[in-house]
Amino acid sequence: MKRILIGLFTVFVCLSYAQEKKNLVKPNYQLAAKFSPAKLRTMIFSTEVKPNYINRGEKFWYEYSTSAGKKWYIVDPVAKKKSELFDNADMATKVTAIVKNPFDAQHLPLQNLRFVDNSDHLIRFEVQSTKDTVKSKEEIKKLTNKKDTLKKKLFHFEYNILSKELKEISDTTKEKATPFWATFSPDTSRIYYAKNYNIYWMDYKNYLKALKDEKDSTIVEHQVTKDGVQYYAWGGDQYSTTTGDSKSLREEQFKRRPIRLLWSPDGKHFVITRKDNRHLSALWVIHNVNNKRPQLETYKYLMPGEVDSTETELYIFDVASHQPKRINVAAFKNQTLTLWSKDASKDNFKGKYYINYWLGNSQEFYMARSSRDLKRIDLIAVNINGTHRVLVEERMNVYIDIRKPKLIAGGKQFIHWSQRDGWGHFYLYDISGKLINQITRGEYNCNEILAYNESTGTLYFQANGLEKDIDPYYNFLYAVNKNGGAPKLLTPGNYDHQIESNEYGNYFIDNFSRVNTVPQSNLYSTSGQLIMKLEEADLSQLFAAGYKFPEPFKVKAGDGITDLYGVMYKPFDFDSTKTYPLIEYVYPGPQTESVNKSFGRSMDRLDRLAQMGFIVISVGNRGGHPARSKWYHTYGYGNLRDYGLEDKKVAAEQLADRYSFIDVNRVGITGHSGGGFMSTAAMLVYPDFFKVAVSGAGNHENNIYNRWWSERHHGVQEQITEKGDTTFIYNINKNSELAKNLKGKLLIVTGDVDNNVHPANSIRMVDALIKANKRFDFVLLPGQAHSFGNMTEYFFWKMADYFAEHLLGESKMHEVDIMEMNREKPLTR
Distance of CA 694 to the CA centre of its chain: 23
Average the pLDDT over 560-569 and give the result: 97
- Per the rule left: phi > 0, alpha: psi between -120 and 50, beta: everything else, 428 is beta
Nearest to 431 by CA among 361, 348, 480, 479: 361
What is d(CA 426, CA 413) in angstroms, rounded to the nearest whole number?
13
Average the pLDDT over 141-149 and give the result: 69
Backbone angles phi, psi at 75, to 5 degrees: -125, 130
* C-beta of residue 128 within 8 angstroms of C-beta of residue 109: yes
Residue 290: burial class (beta carbons within 10 Å; 0-12, 13-18, 19+):
exposed
User: Lowest-confidence range among 292-296, 331-335, 689-693?
Assistant: 292-296
Q: What pLDDT, on the 0 to 100 scale, is given for residue 398?
A: 96
Model confidence at 142, in pLDDT bands (50, 70, 90)? Answer: low
Collapsed DSSP state (helix, strand, coil) of residue 467: coil
Q: What pLDDT, on the 0 to 100 scale, is given for residue 23?
A: 76
User: Lowest-confidence range among 131-135, 390-394, 703-707?
Assistant: 131-135
The 10 Å Cβ neighbour count of residue 797 is: 19
Average the pLDDT over 809-824 and give the result: 93
Whether residue 24 is predicted with pLDDT greater than 70 in this model: the reply is yes
Question: Which domains are seen in the chain, by residue range?
Answer: 24-42+542-705+745-822 (3.40.50.1820), 52-173 (no CATH), 321-402 (no CATH), 441-538 (no CATH)
Q: What pLDDT, on the 0 to 100 scale, is given for residue 148?
A: 77
Q: What is the pTM of this model?
A: 0.93
Q: What pLDDT, on the 0 to 100 scale, is given for residue 15?
A: 45
What is d(CA 722, CA 674) in angstroms, rounded to the nearest whole number?
38
Bridge partners (DSSP) listed for residue 524: 508, 530
The DSSP letter of residue 766 is H
Torsion angle of the four alpha carbons 471, 472, 476, 479, in this order, in degrees rounded to the nearest 10:
140
Q: What is the pLDDT of residues 300-318, one digit of tens each?
A: 899 999 999 899 999 999 9
Whether residue 288 is predicted with pLDDT greater than 50 in this model: the reply is yes
Query: For the chain, what is the radius of gyration of the CA atoms?
Result: 30
DSSP strand E in 198-268: where? 198-203, 222-223, 240-242, 262-263
Cβ-based neighbours of 138, under 8 Å, separated by 6 or more: 212, 213
Distance of CA 679 to the CA centre of its chain: 22
Bridge partners (DSSP) listed for residue 749: 696, 779
Q: What pLDDT, on the 0 to 100 scale, is given for residue 334?
A: 95
* C-beta of residue 607 within 8 angstroms of C-beta of residue 550: yes
Name the helix (H) or strand (E) containing 364.
strand 364-370
Q: What is the pLDDT of residues 171-229, one digit of tens each?
A: 876 677 899 999 999 999 999 999 999 999 999 999 999 999 999 999 999 999 999 99
Cα torsion angle, 203, 205, 206, 212, sign:
positive
What rounded mean pLDDT belongs to the chain?
93
Give rounded-to-5 percent helix, strand, coil for the chain: 20, 35, 45
Cβ-based neighbours of 445, under 8 Å, separated by 6 or more: 423, 424, 463, 464, 465, 626, 627, 628, 629
Distance of CA 3 to the CA centre of its chain: 68
At 532, the amino acid letter reads: M
